[in-house]
Amino acid sequence: MPSSKTGEEDMDCKHFGECGSCRLYDGGYAAQHKLKSDGIHDLFKELYSGEITPFFSPDSHYRARAEFKVWHVGDDIRYAMNPLERGAKMVLIDECPMVIEPIEKLMWPLLESIKELEMGFKLFGLDFLSSSEGEIAVSMLYHRKLDEAWQEQANVLADRHNIKVIGRSRKQKVVIGEDFVTETLTINGKPFKFRHIENSFTQPNPRVNEKMIGWSLKQFEGISGDLLELYCGAGNFTIPFASQFEKVLATEISKSSINAAKTNMALNGEEKIEFVRMSAEEFVQALDGVREFRRMKEIDLSSYELRTIFVDPPRAGMDEASCDFASRFEHILYISCNPESLKRDLEYLTKTHTIDAMAMFDQFPYTGHMEMGVKLTRR
């Protein structure tokens, strides 16, 4: 269901006005969301006059993935973030209410343990990845080689805090336990499990992610045939989408993402998806018979009734060739992390298609960022 209102309480942080992570904070969450919403409506007013459905984030504790610098002050170490103002000093932080509660509860005792175990030498960053249930992987970033002594200390750290620890330095990765967490997303009352791998892309705001997938599924109601997905990543959308279609064919250029997508498919007992490692451009060549790919030899493209395409491209959006390819399909669903590139692509796509629905998803409260969803149908 659309989320049409924010929570009753606003996030409060002592570092508002100096920390560069949160750039919109005056007036609270409702005020900054209205500011962004007004900007979105103004940006798309020439292309779409209907409602742009808003989906809000929790007001605080919404990020399940976060990166912090480690700043050395004499013999002490502190968490640090880039400053709001260019040229200002690094901001040493004592709290961070934007991260989900399992991360915030871990951050401070973890730092004390790192000091006690003398693991801070040339440590310059700590990256946190958490599931909603509190399964956490912490990546420790170093400017030095990690030896057996470090591994012994890391094992103590992992046991003490019941976490997974990944040590990273130049050309080195040391895993204590596992390098992933397993997240459960509930979409329209149904749970889906996803393995989120350290140092790879995952949607940072799980509650908004659930709303984004749920809204997208609603756009497919009443549509038959098979689905083609470009830029599928680790299957965040692909796996829930499989329930709406006879078959799904999904492409992604990253080998690690394709491997993760196949793992996630197995975790959810899904069998109607074929994941193919190739770029969007390569897939167009394969579909049109311009080139043959060994990666496609087990896939009979003629057996698919591809009437619907789903795209979730990077910030640059799609190039004209990709837009031209998408316009072949009767139904287009486009999720965008950059409204500016989305507008450019819609100017092309609306030559052949009509916009049926639009939504905005506030993945990053207290920033100027907004994600978008658009459903189009061929005229």
Q: Catalytic residues, which ones? A: 337, 371
Residue type, 153: Q
Which of 278, 235, 237, 257 lies closest to 371, judged by CA?
Answer: 237
For residue 76, CA distances in Å to 15, 112, 142, 237 come to 20, 10, 16, 43
Residue type, 256: S
Output DSSP code: residue 296. Answer: G
Q: Are 66 and 127 in contact (CB under 8 A)?
A: yes
What is the DSSP track for 221-287?
A: TT--SEEEEES-TTSTTHHHHGGGSS-EEEEES-HHHHHHHHHHHHHTT--SEEEEE--HHHHHHHH
Q: Are 264 and 196 in contact (CB under 8 A)?
A: no
Distance CA 89, CA 379 (A): 55
What is the DSSP track for 161-227?
A: HT-EEEEEETTEEEEES-SEEEEEEEETTEEEEEEEETTS---S-HHHHHHHHHHHHHHTTT--SEE
